[in-house]
Amino acid sequence: MQDLGGKPVIVRTYDATKATNLFDEVYVVTDSDIIFNEIEMNGGKAIMSKKEHECGSDRIAEAVENMDVDIVVNVQGDEPFTSREGLEKVLAVFNEPDAEKIDLASLMTEIHDWKEISDPNCVKVIVDKDNFALYFSRSPIPFPRDKNVGVQYYKHKGIYAFRKQAILDFYRLPMRSLEATEKIECIRYLEYGKNIKMAVSNTIGVEIDTPEDLVKANKILNENKPDAVNHKFRNFPMVPKVVFGEGCFDQLSTILATQKQDKAPFIFLVDDVFKENTELVDRIPLRFNDKLIFISAEEEPKTSQVDNLVNEIKKEFTQIPSGIIGIGGGTVMDLAKAVSIMLINNGSAADYQGWDLVRQKAVYHVGIPTISGTGAEVSRTTVLTGPERKLGINSDFTPFDQVILDPNLTRGVSKNQWFFTGMDCFIHCVESLNGTFLNAFSQSYGEKAYDLCMEIFLDDSLSEEESRAKLMMASWHGGMSIAYSQVGVAHAMSYGLGYVLGTKHGVGNCIVFQYLDEFYPKDVLLFKKMVAKHNVEIPQNICKNLSEEQMDTMVTVAMGMVPLWENALGSNWETIITRDKLKELYLKM
Ligand code: NAD
Ligand code: ZN
């Protein structure tokens, strides 16, 4: 019942569990009138159980005995940060080929800090090759005789998914000595020969066992408020090395020479538009076992695509590569960033979509843009479409270690594409400069990029060379501007188009932006002037034939971009943007 950001811990845990949308029913099982009433008062469902249970699993067994259920998940009441990701993983094991053998499933997290490994409050677990639990203990297991062996330690997380029969068995079987000694419930299963399958989840959560934990949890809650991400003093990394100028691409081999690790290869991810362009490909310094992989930019980059690339590289090379070099547009920039992260961090790229979920430094990575506007070459994110959402891996390890800005590389870009990607920069600036998150840092970069865009897209005085060089710098400044603020309405809505229709980012922004005069009146006029001046055709009526369901998803995806709306319209944006309002706007497009 302790307060956590204005609600009791148990209510937060209940809400978080419901919000995962993974369950048919969610109940709080309790022997306390106070908790029972609190849950019911908040519109939740609670079940009263007997007083005299030894542990939570027994209490749940009593509650489900007469219910018709397949799988029961026990989320402990002190897990207010329960996430969909963890619960999804623990449920997923029941769909794997060895599911028959599983009596229950639970979660574990990688731990690295010896203080935590040796802390008896932190329960460690060891597993066999198929991730079945061998033992749980408050001691460090395995015990490292030589301190620097490279073994991975895992901490057990108090989330269990039982087959109904398993939890009933548990209830009937008396406690034995190992469980009694360690005071760890799930040892009882091992003592009776049951199989516990462990899934790995590395999202950070806080269980609340002590008053200090509660203080920590309150802090995390404050930091996790979507606006806090943007309002804090942010200590973000910038690209440490950048070279600029026509022809500077040829410096690449000198730059890479200093980064070569023993026999580990460099992997070049190159936009496949250059497949036929031997002039560029011949200038790529492939040495020894270096590898070139052509990447299609036809679709928006996906988490599964990142996972496949990482597997391909790991399968071919025994060593982690010396570096990843991305040569292409925003699509290839983002893939290069994501691959360099995922070569080091375990799991799927989808596990890291969000803010600051990456734990380990990425492989050295170099960005070489061949089209300008997105700012992806300088930003702290890599935007990916995942199974659940379209969202960036936003972390301190995402930005490139080196960027090579050679305006010559953008020569071959078609006029439409030049315009669409260039407008990404213009729209970034509009959204940043008109946003509520704006500060002097963002403004200084945003204004410069905005002015450059005006020169490039509305002025006739620039030569082609000047225009290419300036757009490259506009993209850079636009990206820097976003780093400290956020994008806004056009991006939120463009993400909806991208998710449902696969509309690419640049053209999606343009499709949306023409209808946003009520939010950005002056700039929508300027935008239309640019469209007319360059005689660009923007696709029309793309939402005309959407099904109800597609429209619903589109609206949900757009509404889900909370920080973007907050930046655009302030903290009570929900009074301005409703589902109907968004639908009405989409129908115009
Ligand atoms: P892109 O990378 O998708 O490329 C667009 C087209 O231009 C492709 O067909 C590509 O083959 C072609 N192309 C690229 N260089 C060329 C050249 N020199 N000559 C001829 N053709 C060339 O386009 P983009 O607009 O640069 O990137 C869009 C992507 O960037 C989206 O996936 C978006 O989500 C992402 N993005 C990321 C960030 C970030 O901060 N990470 C910011 C904005 C956008
Ligand atoms: Zn953008």
| Interval between CA 392 and ligand 1 midpoint (Å) | 15
Question: Is the CB of 367 inside a 6 Å radius of any atom of ligand 1?
Answer: no
Cα 489 to Cα 495: distance, rounded to the nearest angstrom: 10
Nearest CA to ligand 1 atom 25: 421
C-alpha radius of gyration, the chain, whole number: 27
The per-residue pLDDT for range 305-331, each reduced to its tens digit, is: 999 999 999 999 999 999 999 999 999
Does residue 6 surpass a pLDDT of 60?
yes
Nearest CA to ligand 1 atom 39: 376
CB contact at 8 A, 80 and 217: yes
Question: Which of 306, 327, 417 to mutate for ligand 1's pocket (most ligand atoms within 8 Å of CB)?
Answer: 417
Question: Is the CB of 424 inside a 6 Å radius of any atom of ligand 1?
Answer: yes
Does residue 170 surpass a pLDDT of 90?
no
| Interval between CA 317 and ligand 1 midpoint (Å) | 28
Looking at residue 571, its pLDDT comes to 86
Cα 368 to Cα 365: distance, rounded to the nearest angstrom: 10
Question: Is the CB of 382 inside a 6 Å radius of any atom of ligand 1?
Answer: yes
Looking at residue 114, its pLDDT comes to 87
CB contact at 8 A, 305 and 337: no
Q: Within its chain, how far is the Cα of 365 from the centroid? A: 19
Question: Is the CB of 505 inside a 6 Å radius of any atom of ligand 1?
Answer: yes
Q: Supply the mean pLDDT for the chain.
A: 91
**Cα 253 to Cα 27, 60, 271, 283, 289, distances in angstroms:** 61, 63, 19, 9, 15
| Interval between CA 505 and ligand 2 midpoint (Å) | 7
| Interval between CA 454 and ligand 2 midpoint (Å) | 18
**Cα 304 to Cα 86, 307, 335, 351, 366, distances in angstroms:** 19, 5, 11, 11, 22
Looking at residue 225, its pLDDT comes to 53
Question: Is the CB of 379 inside a 6 Å radius of any atom of ligand 1?
Answer: yes
Nearest CA to ligand 1 atom 24: 330
| Interval between CA 274 and ligand 2 midpoint (Å) | 23
Looking at residue 210, its pLDDT comes to 78
**Cα 91 to Cα 23, 86, 104, 511, distances in angstroms:** 10, 9, 10, 40
Looking at residue 231, its pLDDT comes to 46
Question: Is the CB of 475 inside a 6 Å radius of any atom of ligand 1?
Answer: no
The per-residue pLDDT for range 420-446, each reduced to its tens digit, is: 999 999 999 999 999 999 999 999 999
The bridge status of strand 266-271 relative to strand 241-244 is unpaired
**Cα 193 to Cα 133, 190, 259, distances in angstroms:** 11, 5, 51
**Cα 51 to Cα 56, 264, 390, 514, distances in angstroms:** 11, 62, 46, 63
CB contact at 8 A, 156 and 123: yes
Q: Which amino acid is at 196?
A: I
- Residue 562 sits at the vertex; the CA angle it makes with 557 and 565, to the nearest 5 degrees, is 100
- Name the residue with higher pLDDT: 271 or 358: 271
Determine the atom of ligand 1 nearest the C-alpha atom of 392: 41
Nearest CA to ligand 1 atom 28: 330
Looking at residue 227, its pLDDT comes to 44
- Alpha helices (H) in 225-282, listed in sequence order: 228-231, 252-257, 278-281
Question: Which of 277, 305, 334, 497 to mutate for ligand 1's pocket (most ligand atoms within 8 Å of CB)?
Answer: 334
Q: Return the HEC string of 38-64.
A: HHHHCCCCEEECCCCCCCHHHHHHHHH
Question: Is the CB of 409 inside a 6 Å radius of any atom of ligand 1?
Answer: yes
**Model confidence, pTM:** 0.68
How many residues are present in the chain? 589
Residues 6 or more apart from 522 whose CB is under 8 A from it? none
